[in-house]
Structure 1
């Protein structure tokens, strides 16, 4: 049985850990509020952009832009993997990496795959597995997500697609569906899928919203305007994924630290019970020694 000093030392150690996890939970809660506000503020712009894009697409042909034309044979694929820079957020990063591994072993088996990593955790995993990395962006997810990062990396991918260096581009990110639910999601961004799907995804209610898309007057032409808007749609998809992943990371860390704090409280209670039992056993042993000594003196 552990001594009183050992049990007391463990209690002090667990209490200090509880203070740390509680403080980390408060920090994550504060950052979550800011990330969620940024994500919510971007939604009206993305929805309106999708609305205009859908209206213009209805006047243009399917071959209005090379970004809409799929390759006859897909050999090279780029995966944009969004993860966090730090740990202590439960299974957040593991779930995203598992999603990438499943794609590699199923849909993309036998194809040449390269990675664009947003975040240290995804970068470290890709490096450890020996996967090709075209680019890496550290310090993006979890902080203030800049649109320039999405537009810069998106333009590089568009150039690679147009030059034939990449045949398809997929985005792996965490879809923030609530404080307790963040879903690893895969989305194809190049070649751009059916514009009806893009509009429906942004407007959230395809059947109703598509029927009432307003008529936009296009100048100089719908095809020319569509050619300008489609690259920006790619930037918006990447930026939205970064915002959602950032929000999901803070939510996952807040929940993980809350669970860790509760576990510390339970552990302190168990250790306190052990401490009381150990102290009682020590007192009983001392009393037995005293009684035994008194009886020996009487004898």
Structure 2
């Protein structure tokens, strides 16, 4: 069962924080608020559950909203990388299902942004009985991401290649300029700088600085274990059986791929919507994200 944890500042007003055991020696920090049908919201890089503060507050009017820090991020436990599966999306998806179950929910809607969206997709593939609805914000499925990166346009994803390297070098390089590294993405991926206020930015940088090995392990798994899992699912014809909503910037036009077609191959019941804000859409365009999630939950 979950046990109360000391609240972190800044936080999501009206939400209580908990530490919830999800695996041997691993507990997730989660902010929980509201009542009604459960919705779990998974953050991206280089963020924590705080990225959902606007969306979560709105949804909590009529849903139980659960916002965890992923394994290895924020205030959640960060086990040492024992093998390629320690931080695979499969392992993290199992964490999320266990978290919801510990909080009393065998079935729930799931939305993720960036890294959290990849975990959400894996949860939908591995645990379809638990996921009623699924939303993914501004990613492609893992195997598709690697397939569309090529030539000079792949420079936009340089960090994927850096953190895919064997343990040691990427961690050392990032530790040498951690605030510059993580701050770079908060700057260049945001069209509205005011969307991430100074106290939230400081919280993101502090959390990321403390979690360099686990963040790198997450990305390393994305280039190896996660691709292998996706490839096996594609070969077996496994797809997402629940209603799926995808919100995405129009990178496809610039990088010569069809994002909707890529997603349709995984999600037969798909609503795909192009957005005009920056990458951090839950903070830059929370009303649009809320509307999309509420529309998804009616399907």
TM-score (ref. length: structure 1)? 0.26
Instruction: Pick the structure with greater CA Rg.
Output: 1
Higher relative contact order (CA 8 A, sep 6+): 1
TM-score (ref. length: structure 2)? 0.26
